[in-house]
Structure 1
Amino acid sequence: MTLRRPPLSNLPLGETVAEAMANLFVQRERSALALLGIVIGAAAIVAMLTIGHMAQRETLKLFSHMGADMVQIHATPAGDANPVLDLATVERLPRRDPDVLAAAPMAIDRATVAAGGQTADLGLAAVTPALVSLIGLQPSQGRLFGPLDDSGLVAILGSDAASKLSAPGAPAAPGSEVRVKGYVYRVVGILAPAPNTALDPTDFNSAVLIPLAGARRVVNPPDPVTALFRLRPGADTPAAAQRIQAELANPTAALQVISAQELIRGLNAQKAIHSRLLTAIGAISLLVGGIGVMNVMLMAVMERRREIGLRAAIGASPRDLQLMFLVEAGTLGAVGGLAGLVLGLTAAFAAARASGWSFSLPLYVLLLGPGLAAAVGLAFGLYPAIKASQLDPIEALRAE
């Protein structure tokens, strides 16, 4: 009795893949060259998607200390007079507008600040006790402002400001004194380092905070020019900002409105454009890799004509012959995709370390990278598979 090999379509998947791997190994040099394009393309796509995911998380982290439901109103001159925001109106808005949960007006200036033998040019921020809780500032030493500090000569130093005003053996700390424009302020707290975003009216790390009620002593102009508002979660931000702007409108100022949600959308849109551009480059590399797969498969069809004819002669159907080459092409693509996944994640991890980000893996890339590469392999292996299935068995057996 003559033993016949069962049709490929009836073989277990593992045996089919093993046979495909063996055939590819025989052509290992050509297979490696075809793999190179697949690996580069898959790695580029995985790396860019992962870096884009991490960039979005880092963008949200920038606003984590204050939240995404924040609106800033800043007054710029509308004429010769100094711009001003009405303090009473700002503080009244949380009671009048149901979408406004809290408000914090402030006046901003710069001054030369001295402590001991150290001097530094620092920002001055005259604020109310509501500000530090509104934007999530935390003290690393001492305390924050309270209601009893309203008109007192007390100050809170940002982390960088404290470093600049510290002398060897005499660090700036709660209880020490700083001099601002002839006034001596007692330091009651040092702020922990905070991320700086476009929504912050000043860099609080390099600023000296003083009570707004006593700002007239050292801040020019002493009236609030900026106010931060926390909105109710789910509020219509553009509508709420428009109402706030209308309430604060006055002849001295042109009001600029900035919202955290708009900033986040803008940053994410910019990063998405970069990610799409680099992902497109990866897709082109993947396309080139797919052409390499097609070339390897076409060469295999030409070199294995006798094998194809023999398989057809012992009962392999055109579908079996197509499946044989499709499995090889898909396996080649999947192997390249797995290698690209490892390379892409390594590149993303290196980028995260270089940028000081926390590495975060979007789980969908674990399937997307290898899956897309395998799909490219199958797509570009289809034509060689059809060519193999159309060979005449008699002609194929005569081939040298």
Structure 2
Amino acid sequence: MTMDTPAAPWLDSHVPDTLAEAWTNLRAQGRRSALALLGILIGTASIIAMLNSGHMAQRESLKLFAKLGIDMLQIQAVPAGDAPVALSRTAIAALPVVDPEVLEVIALATGRATARAGAASADLAIFAPAPALARMVGLVAARGRMLGAAEDCALSVVLGADAARALSGPAAAVGPGSVLLLGGYGFTVVGVLAPVRPETLDPVNYNMAAMIPPGCARRVIPGGGPNALLVRLQPGADSKAAGARISARLTPREGTLTVLDAQSILATMQAQKAVHSRMLIAIGAVSLLVGGVGVMNVMLMSVMERQREIGLRAATGASPGALRLLFLTEAVLLSMAGGIAGSLLGAGISYAIASGSGWDFDLAPWTLALGPVVAGGMGLVFGLYPAISAARLNPIDALRAD
């Protein structure tokens, strides 16, 4: 505002007039305002990017348990020596009866074997599951069909998508009707699974596996009995305690059990991400603090350069409160402009992080509002001293300033 500006807007102290004048003064300072805004922008962008990255990382963590959910346990029997180990079928069947927190138990035998189809061969995970496994984990046949209930000991096999591709030759694709050798036995391929997204609690990589009927497990898997379990618990159940109880009931004399607990795994992953996020947010907060100091410096310089203007305003009726309001508004506007730009930049950085990590981009809307709010708060804090300094200037001395 020029020195001959009439006093009426100051006497009225209308908010729109104050905002418009504050913005005009900031634009007049040009490069100095831009440099102060830069510090706020960098700090806000860092915080917004880290908050959104943590938000997306959390969603990606939950996807690792999308099929099975987080109320799940995976239990694997580990042999003490070279002899295979199997779990008691009777004890497994009794689990939902004796433990009220157990909803469902699916047993399966797992192992590895080399599969051959013509001249092609591949090392595959072999699993012989209870029929309910396909329903629980969402296994469906992309070609052919799934194993039927009557195929308890038929030499039939369903291949994972990657396994079928690995066994296919240049001129002969492996699919329904193909014959492959597993453990010295000829198995007929009855189906090929649709691709499955791997999850933490999957007992095998279904994409690179062969599924055979439970009755045929002894022919391919040493021991043949169930050596792995998927246990679904009641929602909200204490998974650690449930895992300990189940281990106590099922641990074989010739081996041990390992228990993977979805809730504990997820909590550990989120705790690690929270530590990293807090560290990076702290770095962003330091940048924001430096930007706030820059805003204060700009406003103090502005007060020094505009002493005659301040004296004229005071002499024509502007109250100390009106002067404080003007300079405080300039500080808040400058900071909020940096906050808005920083929020947009932070969202762009979040998108780049998601693209580089192969994540789905999912912006938390509240973070976009957080940037201007936090930056505005910084402007309020760091603009208060310059505003008070301007209001305390003696009008006579200010009018005499060069």
Bin the TM-score by the shorter chain: over 0.9
Deviations 1:183-209 (A, max 9, x none): 111122222222223322221111112
Give 2:379's aligned residue: 377
Structure 1 position 7, deviation (Å): 6.1
Question: What is the aligned residue count?
Answer: 399
Q: Secondary structure at the match of 1:109?
A: strand
SS in 2 for 1:397: helix
**Counterpart amino acid of 2:339?**
G
Instruction: Give CA-to-partner distance per residue, 1:44-84, whole Å, 9 cap, x none.
Output: 11111111111111111121111111111122234675433
Give the structure 2 partner of residue 353 of structure 1.
355
Q: Which residue matches 2:274?
A: 272
Label 1:3 to 1:337 Cα distance change in 2 as closer, same or farther (>3 A): closer
**Aligned pair 1:366/2:373, yes or no?**
no
1:83 maps to what in 2?
85
Change over 3 Å in CA distance of 1:140–1:202 after alignment to 2: same
Range with greater deviation from structure 2 (182-191 or 5-14):
5-14
User: Once structures 1 and 2 are overlaid, which stretch shifts more, 93-102 or 265-274?
Assistant: 93-102
Correspondence for 2:122: 120
Distance in 2 separating the partners of 1:52 and 1:162: 37
Check conservation: 2:176, 2:191, Cα contact below 8 A: yes
8 Å CA contact 1:7–1:317 kept in 2: the answer is: no
* Aligned counterparts of 1:279 and 1:191: Cα–Cα separation in 2: 44
Flag structure 1 segments of 5+ consecutive residues without an equivalent.
none
- Is the Cα contact below 8 Å between 2:40 and 2:287 reproduced in 1? yes
Q: Which residue of 1 aligns with 2:64?
A: 62
Contact 2:32 2:298 in 1 (8 A): yes
**CA shift in 2, pair 1:16/1:139, >3 Å:** farther
Q: Report which stretch shifted further, 260-269 or 122-131.
A: 122-131
Describe the superposition over 1:200-247 as per-residue Cα deviations: whole angstroms up to 9, x where unpaired: 222111111212221110112423222111112232323322322222
- Do the aligned residues in 1 keep the contact of 2:323 with 2:391 (CA within 8 Å)? yes
Mapped contact 2:45–2:345 kept (Cα < 8 A): yes
1:5 aligned residue: 7
**Residues 159-206 of structure 1 deviation map (CA, whole Å, 9 limit, x = unaligned):** 211111122342222222221121111122222222223322221111
Alignment-derived partner of residue 310 in structure 1: 312
Q: CA deviation at 1:137?
A: 2.4
Determine which of 163, 172, 193 is the counterpart of 1:191: 193
1:229 aligned to 2:245? no
Contact 2:155 2:187 in 1 (8 A): yes
Aligned to 1:290: 292
Report the Cα distance in structure 2 between the residues aligned to 1:37 and 1:367, rounded to whole angstroms: 18
CA contact (8 A) 1:67 1:135 kept: no
Amino acid corresponding to residue 125 of structure 1 in structure 2? F
SS at 1:300's partner residue?
A: helix
Whole-angstrom CA distance in 1 between matches of 2:44 and 2:122 = 51
Name the CA distance, whole Å, in 2 between partners of 1:312 and 1:98: 79
CA distance in 1, matches of 2:5, 2:297: 34
- Contact kept, 8 Å, 1:91 with 1:104, in 2: the verdict is no
Native 8 Å contact 1:34 1:296 kept in 2: yes
Task: Name the SS of the counterpart of 1:360 in structure 2.
Answer: coil
- SS of 1:148's partner is coil
> SS of the counterpart of 1:197?
coil
- Note if contact 1:199-1:260 (Cα within 8 Å) is conserved in structure 2: yes
- Secondary structure, counterpart of 2:77 in structure 1: strand
**What is the distance in 2 between the residues matched to 1:387 and 1:193?**
68
Give the Cα–Cα distance (whole angstroms) in 2 for the partners of residues 3 and 124 of structure 1.
86
Shift of 1:17: 1.6
Tell me what 2:149 maps to: 147
- SS of equivalent to 2:212: strand
Aligned-pair identity in percent equals: 52
C-alpha distance after superposition, 1:270-309 (max 9, x if no partner): 1111111111111111111111101100110110011111
Distance change >3 Å, CA 167–CA 390, structure 1 → 2: same
Supply the distance in 2 between the matched residues of 1:119 and 1:286 (Cα, whole angstroms): 59
Report the TM-score when normalising by structure 1: 0.94
Distance 1:319 1:169 in 2: 86
Give the 3-state SS of the residue equivalent to 1:352 in structure 2: helix
Letter in 2 for 1:176: S
Q: 2:19 aligns with which of 13, 17, 20?
A: 17
Following the alignment from structure 2 to structure 1, what is the Cα–Cα distance between the partners of residues 357 and 236?
Answer: 32
| 1-structure distance, mates of 2:79, 2:112 | 18
Counterparts of 1:112 and 1:170, CA distance in 2: 19
Q: After TM superposition, list the pairs within 5 Å mapping 1:157-196 onto structure 2.
A: 157-196=159-198
